[in-house]
Structure 1
């Protein structure tokens, strides 16, 4: 016997890291109304059956039948659910009685009903089949409509024994291989694990922030200046002095031109400083955000996508160095927008990708610094600024001597007061005008940003619109399982009829993604699989790493051991917290694998943590596997003989009863 090892299996206190789970809360795929009708219960049962959540499907179908809903379609799927993934010898006495009661209705079924035809074919498969009858049974299956044919090949491959088993298995595997990549699996499967994207947001425009002192300076300065100018004009007008009056008017016109151009220059310089601050590399490194927090996750998103989206022909190191300031500015904006909304960082990954892609596009178009050109002072502004300043100076120098000569004391005081008041007033007016203009431009920028982000959001939503359903995920996984079992049989050179039973232990792989529908089982992007093939010679165990997104698999370990080498099989832990499967051999260390993780954070208001854990373990086939391995651990090789002997009497009775009904 090969010495047992534990490669790729989580042991002891080792953690199986899993990314935060996604629950597609806007989907009512597995939800029932408050008072479901039998038809609604049956419809939901079919969804669970397609998802390989067999126990839940059986329960719901029995409820629908008990409520009086017992059409031939219901009876067909009742039998399929009862037998799915099991052999006849695994049925309990009450389940065999239920099977007999269904068979008793066969003589009354309509021959032209496709569901009745499918039901009769399934019932015939329950009777022993000789080599001569094998081809006839297969032809009967192939003659059915696709829903009935797919249900039989998809669910009953473990049911049969004897001559027909190999042929049924071959056809079942062929069907699995042909449908393994159905419906664009490899282009769509990743979308199942992607959360619903958060809607885009933009920072609100900050209202004008004008300090009170600027308002006071502007108001007081303008009032004092107006008073001083009036006091200067009155003696000039009353004295009939034309040249000083023209000088004052020229100075006022120059002042007006200077103020208009000066306000424009002030705004452009201030706006340029703000824009440059957004792209300037930070002088010192920011302290890291708390581990596990939202800000840290956003940091990682920006680091990941800036490293990934490097402009063509640009060195990555140079790109990261030159965009450090932009990266920090965008990161701060995103954190500010979503920090208080309790939104998982992965829901805004699309926005981070868009922002980084936009920066890369600007880099490649050489428009990252286009603001420098846009905010450069135009020639008209410079002409008005310097021309107005020159005209103000000339007019003042022209009028001042005459005014001082006519009224030396008062004229000098009012001239001085005009100069003293106009300087702080003009500066305050520049700041007030710049702030109002900033608000207007910010509104335009915000509208442009918002429109672009919403457009990107809708593009991303359209890309995710064909997200696979849970039943598609289950169908692909079932195809993978069958192909892997078939590959294992080929490696060991076994025929299906050589295998007494096969069973899986299915667990999430480290650092995998996971997602589920409400009231549905967890699905994972990567799996750890333990496959057990039970033969007359003992157990073949194969450990497999499966990448579900690519369907790539890798065999990590092979073990062979006798039945009597199995010392114990058990499941440790509470389903809602953590459960570990453990298999112990007499001459080896226990092999353990965590099959469930704590899941309280994603439970919605109408869900039960224990129910979700039960559904997930049901979909993973754990109960079937435990039934098989516990029997082996308890009885060793005798389990095979006892298993057959205990059931043969009931199966003989079942076969004779069915034979009498279908003849």
Structure 2
């Protein structure tokens, strides 16, 4: 397995099917953005953030603009311009034009400047290669630096810490990484970076008042007929009983009103209860197919329904008895949030709250409490019945009194009056019940909205300490140091045994979350990290799977191959927009690792520069330095290392001369 003379073995063939579980684009965020008319200092600060975020090309651009064009020259800007030029690449990769930038700062720094020691240490690290003396001097120089300067030197001068004199520096870097990997409550906060900005609380509006023209017409006609016939009977009865007829007429009117009013509430409650019974009794929904918004909401409800199964409950019973209500809630979420710009992950907080609320009510036996709440109280039902009886009695008295004056006409009018009052009462009960339903639904929706807004506020407070991109970059840098420490321990290598090294960071399969700030690289919840160590005996490759949120390494694979085993190395873009790293060996299958994902619905809708994001991500993943080293080995074999050292002599002398010229 570890025989340096063994043939190549491919252990990285799991990149063909990588699924993005969720993604978020945070913005607007000013970390990597320059204002419309920035000052040189503002431009420098954006470049410094880019450097700390692992985006060396962007850092070089902004810091160069601030220093060279904006003449923002001081010890701090000179130090970080120097680090930006060297970060993540060898001297061979530094163009002569960029080295010339350092000359524009000729005589800008005095020896007593607080950044002078840091700049001199960078020069010492360059010029000490590849001698094995001076470890004590480097340690003393390092002690003079502040924590900020020391950490930045150890991070961005990593490519130049490759001699025995720097073993102490690597040990220091490993020690710092071990503690900083878990700093700032990483395990409690890192997952929040991958949560998109949530969409605010919404509810489905109450259905409008739905009364057809026929109902209004029928109510109007029958009411007019009822008033005419009852009025005629009342006038005729007045001739016989006088004030008694007037009292009966008033009783009839009051009884009809009270009966209609209480009957409307009775009917409203009954219909709302029946509607909820139908809603809660619906069969389970069929999961939507595809990868659309509805399908993702289905998956959320299924996931949280399983996750929030009440403790000790029978899962099958819980899912069966709540299928209807969960389906109704699922349909509501799909309806009110189904917009082109809404990512399903942005409403996951609501899905989680709704399912948890159903579980709480089901466990407490309150899921069907609406049946008790919507049952018409006994006083309402008694009022409806008694009022109707009173109206009927008053009407009968009027008919009896009127019949004494004109029996035939009053009898015919009574038939018309009874029919018209009956149909008018039914129509007005329906109309009043519909208005009652509308107002009751509005009140219910307002209560639901208030509860959801409270849940939304709780979720926003939970995300308030979301880590920024610079923290994510620092944690990932510590993880890289941890991988390097593991590799040197596994292969029992000293630092001087490693002639060169390269990292590649890619999203890990089978699923992962990803997120980025505007103009920043994609950060992943799970990484696949490949470390290539070039030694005199061949190449040592260590592949680890990193759970970034928990800061744990899930698996580890070791691979060895000779220098002459390399055939080719490349990063190719597929038709779908993926970027795939491919290392071809003389024997065995190619090593393929997917570096970036193709554009998705979220990136198409929300991302202002998806292609730029892929390039930035490739840069922070270390791919360009890895390509430089591996392409050199593929072309020149083991001799590449010696040739590289020879080729570096000229740029090394130029950089050292330019650095020394900085001091007045």
TM (normalized to structure 1)?
Answer: 0.91
Question: Larger deviation: 648-657 or 300-309?
Answer: 648-657
What is the distance in 2 between the residues matched to 1:358 and 1:381? 32
Residue 66 of structure 2 corresponds to 64
Q: Bigger shift: 272-281 or 33-42?
A: 33-42
Is the Cα contact below 8 Å between 2:66 and 2:72 reproduced in 1?
yes
| Matched pairs, number | 656
Taking the TM superposition and a 5 Å limit, the aligned residue runs for 1:174-193 are 174-193=175-194
Q: Which of 74, 77, 82 is matched with 1:79 structurally?
A: 82
Equivalent residue number for residue 369 of structure 2: 370
Is the deviation greater in 237-246 or in 624-633?
A: 237-246
Distance apart, 1:57 and its partner CA: 1.4
Q: What are the ranges of 5 or more consecutive residues in structure 2 without an aligned counterpart? A: none
| Residue from 6, 14, 24 that aligns with 2:26 | 24
Per-residue CA distance 1:288-347 (angstroms, 9 max, x = gap): 434222112112211221221122332121111111111121111111111135311111
Q: Distance in 2 between matches of 1:604 and 1:399?
A: 73
Q: Distance in 1 between matches of 2:542 and 2:6?
A: 12
Q: Secondary structure at the match of 2:159?
A: coil
Partner of 1:482: 481
Distance of aligned partners of 1:92 and 1:598 in 2 relative to their CA distance in 1, 3 Å threshold: same
Going from structure 1 to structure 2, the CA distance change for 1:239 and 1:8 (only over 3 Å counts) comes to same
Partner of 1:532 in structure 2? 532
Q: 2:32·2:47 contact (CA, 8 Å) conserved in 1?
A: no
The CA deviation string for residues 439-489 of structure 1, in whole angstroms up to 9 with x for no partner, is 222221222122222221121111112111111111111100110111011
Counterparts of 1:84 and 1:267, CA distance in 2:
72
Match of 1:138 in 2: 139
Find out whether 1:599 has 2:599 as its counterpart.
Answer: yes
Q: Give the corresponding residue for 1:15.
A: 17
Deviation at 1:596, TM superposition (A): 2.2
Does residue 39 of the first structure (1) align with residue 41 of the second (2)?
A: yes
Query: CA–CA distance in 2 between the matches of 1:410 and 1:593?
Result: 98
> Does the C-alpha gap of structure 1 residues 91 and 414 become closer, same or farther in structure 2, counting only changes over 3 Å?
closer
Q: Does 1:418 align with 2:421?
A: no
Q: d(CA) in 1 for partners of 2:638 and 2:23?
A: 42
Cα distance in structure 1, aligned partners of 2:605 and 2:437: 45
Structure 1 residues 482 and 257: alpha-carbon distance in aligned structure 2, compared to 1, 3 A threshold? same
**More displaced, 164-173 or 289-298?**
289-298
8 A Cα contact 1:257 1:385, kept in partner = yes
Comparing 333-342 and 400-409, the one that deviates more: 400-409
Classify the secondary structure of the residue corresponding to 1:114: coil
| 1:23 and 1:515 in contact (8 A); partners too | yes
CA distance in 1, matches of 2:279, 2:435: 21
- Correspondence for 2:615: 614
Matched, 1:498 2:505: no
- In 1: Cα distance, 2:270 partner to 2:609 partner: 60
Give 1:648 shift: 4.3
* TM-score for both structures, normalised by structure 2: 0.91
**1:514 paired residue number:** 514
Is it true that 1:333 corresponds to 2:332 in the alignment?
Answer: yes
Change (3 A) 1:131 1:625: closer
Q: Deviations over 1:112-157 (max 9, x none)?
A: 4212232123223333387774223212212222221221122223
Moved more, 288-297 or 429-438: 288-297
Q: CA deviation at 1:90?
A: 5.7
Indicate the residue corresponding to 1:216 in structure 2.
217
Residues 659, 447 of structure 1: alpha-carbon distance in 2 compared, 3 angstrom cutoff: closer
User: Distance between the aligned counterparts of 1:391 and 1:658, measured in 2?
Assistant: 106
SS of 2:350's equivalent in the other structure is: helix
Partner of 2:455: 456
How far, CA to CA, are the matches of 2:532 and 2:432 in structure 1?
A: 79
| Cα root mean square deviation, aligned | 2.9
Give structure 1 stretches of 5+ with no counterpart: none
1: CA distance, partners of 2:443 / 2:214: 29
Moved more, 300-309 or 647-656: 647-656
Tell me which residue corresponds to 1:294: 293
Equivalents in 2 of 1:239, 1:504: separation in Å?
A: 109
Alpha-carbon distance in structure 1 between the residues aligned to 2:241 and 2:595: 104
- Give how far 1:495 is off: 0.9
Aligned to 2:127: 127
Shift of 1:51: 1.1
CA distance in 2, matches of 1:343, 1:656: 55
Q: CA deviation at 1:20?
A: 5.1
Distance 2:354 2:606 in 1: 35
- 1:202 corresponding residue in structure 2: 203
